[in-house]
Amino acid sequence: MSALALHEAYLSYGNHRVLGPVNLDVRAGEHLILLGKSGCGKSTLLNRLYTENRSGCALIPQDLGLVETLSVYHNVYMGRLQRYSALQNMLNLISPARGRVAEVSPLLEQLGLAEKCFSSVAELSGGQQQRVAVARALYQAAPVLLADEPVSALDGPEADRVMALLGQYFSTAVISLHDVDRALRYGQRIVAIQNGELVLDEPTERLTVAALNEFY
Ligand SMILES: Nc1ncnc2c1ncn2[C@@H]1O[C@H](COP(=O)(O)OP(=O)(O)OP(=O)(O)O)[C@@H](O)[C@H]1O
């Protein structure tokens, strides 16, 4: 069953065509990794998938989309903002609801952020901020994850832990990465972008690091 699909799609900014025609079916239950040189169009593709499937997707954007003046807790809570009334959201902003804190805390624990729950995001390192964006996506618990280089600011072991966590929480995901070795370890299917086209679309088991390095 297809979870997300684009058929004969052209992705442009004004007159500048970035990708197209794009034909892509993301099947429910698969982890698809997007690879390709900087500027090839990975974010553009992820953003289009999100724009067309907003209600069913959790997005970790490349710029993280955090509110730096708010606490870690409040940023993670934003993953479920739509589930609550405006009044509940406002009250929670002033005084965090105990039940919600109890839901968010284990996620922060898993991401090594437990002690930062009520710190403002502005006070965190880049890697910590990236983990807050990951926690917000986990908390949202949407059927599909769209993630744009979600571990780029993390060291190797931490990046692997976060990738494993994303895999555990989301059965269906489209994730852009720059690390081909990690792509082979975490993806079931790899799509590479080059010169405005999806030039490779293969199950991971048919691919090697050397084959993927061709796209860099
Ligand atoms: N808002 C925008 N307006 C105009 N052009 C844009 C915009 N965003 C991206 N582009 C252009 O679209 C192309 C694809 O950019 P995109 O950010 O999708 O690449 P990417 O593969 O995600 O790159 P990176 O790996 O560096 O994040 C680039 O040529 C970029 O300059």
Domains present along the chain, CATH in parentheses: 2-213 (3.40.50.300)
Give me the count of residues in the chain: 216
User: Quick check: ipTM above 0.90?
Assistant: yes
Is the pLDDT assigned to residue 1 strictly greater than 90? no
Question: Could you identify the atom of ligand 1 that is nearest to the CA of residue 41?
Answer: 18
Q: How many CA atoms lie within 13 A of 74 on its CB side?
A: 20
The answer to whether 132 and 113 are in contact (CB under 8 A) is yes
Q: Which residue CA neighbors atom 6 of ligand 1 most closely?
A: 13
Q: In this structure, which residue's CA is closest to atom 2 in ligand 1?
A: 13
Q: Using CA atoms, how far apart are residues 83 and 76, in angstroms rounded to an integer?
A: 13
Tokens 């197209």, residue located:
20
What confidence tens digit (pLDDT) does each residue in 107-133 have?
Answer: 999 999 999 999 999 999 999 999 999
Residues 165-181: tens digit of each pLDDT? 999 999 999 999 999 99
Query: Cβ neighbours of residue 83 under 8 Å, at least 6 residues apart?
Result: none
Measure 43 CA to ligand 1 centroid, in angstroms.
Answer: 7
For the purposes of burial, counting CB atoms within 10 Å of the CB of 3, is it exposed (0-12), middle (13-18) or buried (19 or more)?
A: buried
- Residue 37 confidence (pLDDT) above 90: yes
C-alpha 150 – ligand 1 centre gap (Å): 17
Please give the pLDDT value at position 93. 94
pLDDT digits (tens, 9 = 90+) for 127-161: 999 999 999 999 999 999 999 999 999 999 999 99
- How many degrees, rounded to 5, is the angle at CA 198 between CA 193 and CA 199? 85
Residue 79 backbone phi and psi in degrees, to 5: -60, -25
Contact residues of ligand 1, CB 6 A cut-off: 13, 16, 18, 36, 38-44, 62
Check whether 102 has a pLDDT greater than 90. Answer: yes
Tell whether the model's pLDDT for residue 31 goes beyond 90: yes
Distance from the alpha carbon of residue 78 to the mean position of ligand 1, in angstroms: 26
Residue 199 tokens read as: 């030039």
> Using one digit for the tens of pLDDT, what is the confidence trace for 44-98?
999 999 999 999 999 999 999 999 999 999 999 999 999 999 999 999 999 999 9
**Which residue owns the Cα nearest ligand 1 atom 7?**
13
Q: What is the pLDDT of residue 68?
A: 97
pTM of the model: 0.96
Q: State the distance from the centre of ligand 1 to the C-alpha of 177, rounded, in angstroms.
A: 15
| pLDDT grade for 22, boundaries at 50, 70 and 90 | very high
What mean pLDDT is reported for the chain? 96
- The rounded Å distance from CA 39 to ligand 1 centre is 5
Which residue has its alpha carbon closest to ligand 1 atom 26?
Answer: 38
